[in-house]
Amino acid sequence: MAPSLLRPASPCLNLAPPTADGPGRSRSAVTIGGSRPLSVSLRVGGSSRRDFPCTTMASRDHSGLTRQLLDFQHGTVDEIDGEHDPFMELKARFMDFKHRNCVDNISNYQNLAQQQTPKFMVVACADSRVCPSSVLGFQPGEAFTVRNIANLVPPYQHGASETSAALEFAVNTLEVENVLVVGHSRCGGIQALMSMKSKQDDSQSRSFIRDWVSIAKSARLSTEAAAGNLNFELQCKHCEKESINSSLLNLLTYPWIEKRVNEGTLSLHGGYYNFIDCTFEKWKLVYRQGLEGGSKYAIKNRTTWS
């Protein structure tokens, strides 16, 4: 288990438990927009039967869709029904962005069209309230960003993932100078992690989310040891920062990241955005290769922007 870098330090994604629907079966209700819930039943245990009242099968042959895009003529508009189209607002925002940023700064965008040279690689949460470009003011070309549930970095041994692929490209190809892992308040992914109490519970409540956040089990265990006497909300708040440090330590399991950190060409940073009081906490991870145990790691330059 990775050493804890925190000592006594909340809900963006809710996991609704399934309701019982007979032996060996569970039923979940899925609501899309303002539509009526769609019932989805799945038999588990010894049976492989699945009952899906509403099922959409994706075609493996998507060449027809691609041809439609290639044949599309700019300036043509398909008919839109009388309902409100949320993309009309996005179109207006895009046109405003284009005129304020691209048209008025054409030389910069011509350079960006040829290459990107970001100084930052950012690992942030997929939470809609935590956009790093909005929070930290990144402009196009400044930050290579990947977002996932609970802003986690899996260890090198975990194998391929979109996060490890993004790190490989950012560090080895773009040669970024800084990797910044950004966590945040009231993170539903961390709540899911802290709700995993036992191996038995984990095996009986399998989901993509639980499988993913289990990467940070060491942060949960460290939190329970350091803040187990606190209520669940405060434990989650502690773990939100503990998991950032866990991800920073996981970064050092990548050989090409450790090499650059030792050479002084790459720095690892943690950041915590509290959208409740709109503050941002930032720190740097220090890695001492020649030492052993927890003394190999330390935090420096810890500051709060408020």
Tokens 């040669």: give the residue: 175
Burial letters 175-185, b for 16+ CB under 10 A, else e: ebeebbbbbbb
Residue burial 222-239, b: 16+ Cβ < 10 Å; e: rest: bbeebbeeeeeeebbbbb
Q: Does 99 count as an annotated binding residue? A: no
Four-point Cα dihedral 115, 117, 120, 125, nearest 10: 0
* CA dist 104 → 17, 101, 142, 165 (Å): 51, 6, 18, 34
CA distance 81 to 293: 64
Q: Is 125 annotated to bind ligand?
A: yes
Residue 127 marked ligand-binding: yes
Are the C-beta atoms of 121 and 182 separated by less than 8 Å? no
Check whether 187 is labelled as a binding-site residue. yes
Beta bridge partners of 17: none
The beta-strand segments (E) located in 46-133 are 50-51, 120-125
Which residues are annotated as part of the binding site? 125, 127, 184, 187
Which residues are annotated as part of the binding site for Zn(2+)? 125, 127, 184, 187
